[in-house]
């Protein structure tokens, strides 16, 4: 998934080689059950739900439909595994790291399978998913495997006859609620640091992207994690709501929409749950007047259309300096026309379907609204006449800041190109949004770049690159884009409680 433009030429080289990784069009599916206490079990209701391939709308399989009773069972298993004296709590931190690394080894072994599950169930293009998302997910597990025995406190100099130090202790049972657009990668962002911190977890993948996560459950058991440390429940959003409501869940980490994040924020207050919320975005991508136009087009194309625009941090608000606006638009039209649309399993395809019919319909409503509000649809703007949930890559020009398509998150392949004149102007316009997840600057004038880096109110500013999200650095948003950070030491602190310890030392008079 997340790679800078400087990695793209290497990817193109990979495509020309004869030893390309091969997708598994009919992979062996994981058990269609719930994973609780290291066992595969049916939903207590016996109900299931249907998984469809968004590229052709055909049924893939049926999965267990969890309910509140299954949430209670999974949380009870996680709580039991977290008890003092349990195998997990008495395990050396270095051994936790060993198990996490073993899980990463197994994911690496099955990397083609994991990428194939995401292509089959989510419509994600196979090759960039394998070379991007899944490899980055494995790197994230390896990073936190190394951090497991380094989540250290500190000694403190205090007045009086005391020894004082702090401890970082696991927060407890964590509800990790994962979005569908980058299922395995987002799972790694949450699962790896929570396990490294010593927590146990109940994982709820999206009902639209459960297969890869269920396979990770199989690998958890194969790696040798104690029962109850990792539990996986499949089903719709109400299952996540039951996890949020559960009094024995101590922390919630959620990636998804801002409206759902707000509801979790309100519900979490009932028992002061620790929260990490990575929510929506409407990220500005600013092309400076000294930028190379051809490179700027490639940069903006990737920022807007990667993963069919289904990225919370997609750079869809493309601000182009007026001196190159017309040239940029003409070259972008040609670049979009060269985007290869088709079966996500094909190795030369760039663009697959939207993950769900609902999402495709939402994207089309925004496209029609953009036309109605007076923006010019330069390219795209329609459904693609073929089976599946395909929407044409679309670019609007003559967009103003008050238009709906420039203000609301579309979560689809829709680029808005806006003119600007000055740095001060574009900073004000870039910040004129309720979101603040990410941003980008493309150009070479270091003074302009530094001014923008300091002026933009967003959790990430990418300079001459896009989607650089690494295990070592924090990722998260300002304003309505969420609270908390994932990645680096900040990521493990989200799953840790800080305890201060004071020990009185003897004195001559005591």
Residue-level pLDDT at 8: 39
Q: What is the dihedral of CA 412, 205, 214, 193, to 10 degrees?
A: 100
Residue-level pLDDT at 364: 98
Residue-level pLDDT at 339: 96
Percentage of the residues of the chain whose pLDDT score is greater than 70: 96
Residue-level pLDDT at 11: 40
Which residues face 319 on adjacent strands? 286, 418
Q: Is the dihedral of CA 328, 393, 366, 240 positive or negative?
A: negative
Q: Specify burial of residue 489 (Cβ count, 10 A radius: 0-12, 13-18, 19+).
A: middle
pLDDT at 4 over 50: no
CA–CA separation, 443 vs 455, rounded Å? 16
pLDDT at 7 over 80: no
Mean pLDDT, residues 405-418: 98
Q: Residue 321 — φ and ψ, nearest 5°?
A: -60, 140
CA–CA separation, 128 vs 88, rounded Å? 36
Per-residue pLDDT of 110-157, as tens digits, reads 999 999 999 999 999 999 999 999 999 999 999 999 999 999 999 999
CA–CA separation, 440 vs 59, rounded Å? 39
Residue-level pLDDT at 510: 56
Mean pLDDT, residues 438-442: 98
Per-residue pLDDT of 19-69, as tens digits, reads 678 899 999 999 999 999 999 999 999 999 999 999 999 999 999 999 999
pLDDT at 413 over 50: yes
Which helix (H) or strand (E) covers residue 277, if one does? Answer: strand 274-278
CA distances from 102 to 29, 141, 220, 321 (A): 22, 9, 9, 49
Among all chains, which residue has been given the structure tokens 């707000």?
A: 262
Per-residue pLDDT of 350-361, as tens digits, reads 999 999 999 999
pLDDT at 5 over 50: no
Q: Catalytic site residue 278?
A: yes
Residue-level pLDDT at 270: 86
Which helix (H) or strand (E) covers residue 203, if one does? Answer: strand 200-204
CA–CA separation, 220 vs 226, rounded Å? 9
Among all chains, which residue has been given the structure tokens 């995401």?
A: 118
DSSP string, 420-458: E--HHHHHHHHT-SS--S--EEESS-HHHHHHHHHH--S
The catalytic position among 118, 169, 263, 278 is 278
Closest listed residue to residue 392, CA positions, set 401, 383, 400:
383
Residue-level pLDDT at 268: 87
CA–CA separation, 437 vs 277, rounded Å? 11
Residue-level pLDDT at 506: 87
CA–CA separation, 381 vs 386, rounded Å? 15
CA–CA separation, 190 vs 171, rounded Å? 14
Per-residue pLDDT of 166-177, as tens digits, reads 999 999 999 999
Residue-level pLDDT at 271: 85
Residue-level pLDDT at 20: 75
Residue-level pLDDT at 509: 66
pLDDT grade for 6, boundaries at 50, 70 and 90: very low
Q: Is the dihedral of CA 431, 436, 442, 443 positive or negative?
A: positive
Q: In whole angstroms, what separates CA 217 from the centre of its chain?
A: 19
Alpha carbons within 13 A on the beta-carbon side of 434? 11
Instruction: Say which range, 6-15, 322-331, 482-491, has the weakest mean pLDDT.
Output: 6-15
Mean pLDDT, residues 63-86: 98
With a CB cutoff of 8 Å and minimum separation 6, the contacts of 207 are 49, 63, 234, 235, 236, 237
Mean pLDDT, residues 395-410: 97
Give the SS3 label for residue 250. coil
Closest listed residue to residue 259, CA positions, set 482, 485, 484:
482
Q: Considering the chain, what is the average pLDDT of its residues?
A: 94
Per-residue pLDDT of 290-329, as tens digits, reads 999 999 999 999 999 999 999 999 999 999 999 999 999 9
Q: Interhelix angle for 111-122 vs 93-109, to 10°?
A: 70
Residue-level pLDDT at 269: 86
Per-residue pLDDT of 173-225, as tens digits, reads 999 999 999 999 999 999 999 999 999 999 999 999 999 999 999 999 999 99
Contact assessment for residue 267 and residue 298, using Cβ atoms and an 8 Å cutoff: no
Percentage of the residues of the chain whose pLDDT score is greater than 90: 94
For each of the domains in the chain, give its residue range(s) and CATH number, in order of start: 23-279+477-499 (3.40.605.10), 284-463 (3.40.309.10)
CA–CA separation, 310 vs 257, rounded Å? 12
């Amino acid at each position: 998934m997340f790679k800078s433009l400087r990695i793209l030429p290497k990817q193109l080289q990979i495509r020309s080689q004869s030893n390309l990784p091969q997708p598994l069009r009919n992979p062996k599916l994981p058990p269609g059950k719930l994973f609780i206490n290291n066992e595969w079990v049916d939903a207590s209701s016996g109900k299931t739900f249907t998984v469809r391939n968004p590229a052709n709308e055909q049924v893939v399989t049926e999965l267990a439909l969890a309910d509140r009773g299954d949430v209670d069972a999974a949380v009870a298993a996680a709580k039991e595994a977290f008890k003092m004296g349990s195998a997990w709590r008495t395990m050396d931190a270095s051994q936790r790291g060993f198990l996490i690394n073993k899980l990463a080894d197994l994911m690496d072994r099955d990397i083609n399978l994991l990428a194939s599950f995401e292509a089959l169930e989510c419509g994600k293009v196979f090759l960039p998913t394998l070379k991007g998302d899944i490899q980055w997910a494995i790197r994230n597990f390896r990073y936190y495997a190394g951090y497991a025995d380094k989540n250290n406190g500190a000694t403190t100099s205090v007045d009086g006859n005391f020894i004082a130090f702090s401890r970082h202790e696991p927060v407890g049972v964590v509800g990790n609620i994962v979005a569908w657009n980058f299922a395995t990668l987002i799972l790694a962002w949450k699962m790896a640091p929570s396990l490294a911190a010593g927590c146990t977890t109940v994982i709820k993948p999206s009902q639209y992207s459960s297969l890869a996560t269920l396979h990770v459950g199989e690998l958890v058991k194969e790696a040798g994690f104690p029962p109850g440390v990792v539990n996986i429940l499949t089903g719709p959003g109400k299952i996540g709501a039951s996890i949020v409501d559960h009094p024995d869940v101590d922390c919630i980490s959620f990636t998804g929409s801002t409206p759902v994040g707000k509801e979790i924020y309100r519900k979490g207050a009932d028992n002061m749950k620790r929260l990490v919320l990575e929510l929506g975005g409407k990220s500005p991508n600013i092309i400076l007047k000294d930028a190379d136009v051809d490179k700027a087009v490639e940069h903006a194309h990737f920022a807007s259309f990667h993963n069919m625009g289904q990225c919370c941090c997609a750079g869809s608000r493309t601000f182009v300096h007026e001196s190159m606006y017309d040239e940029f638009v003409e070259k972008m039209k040609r670049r979009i026309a060269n985007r290869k649309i088709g079966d996500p399993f094909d190795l030369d395809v760039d663009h697959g379907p939207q993950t769900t019919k609902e999402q495709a319909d939402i994207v089309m409503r925004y496209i029609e609204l953009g036309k109605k509000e007076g923006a010019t649809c330069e390219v795209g703007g329609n459904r693609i006449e073929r089976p599946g949930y395909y929407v044409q890559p679309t670019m609007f020009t003559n967009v103003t800041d008050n238009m709906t398509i420039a203000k609301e998150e579309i979560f689809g392949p829709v680029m808005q190109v806006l003119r600007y004149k000055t740095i001060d102007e574009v900073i004000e316009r870039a910040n004129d949004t309720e979101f603040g997840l990410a941003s980008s600057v493309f150009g070479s004038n270091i003074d302009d770049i530094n001014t923008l880096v300091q002026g933009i109110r967003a959790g990430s500013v990418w300079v001459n690159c896009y989607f650089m999200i690494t295990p070592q650095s924090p990722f998260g948003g300002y304003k309505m884009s969420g609270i908390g950070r994932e990645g680096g030491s900040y990521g493990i602190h989200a799953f840790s409680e800080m305890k201060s310890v004071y020990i009185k030392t003897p004195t001559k008079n005591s």
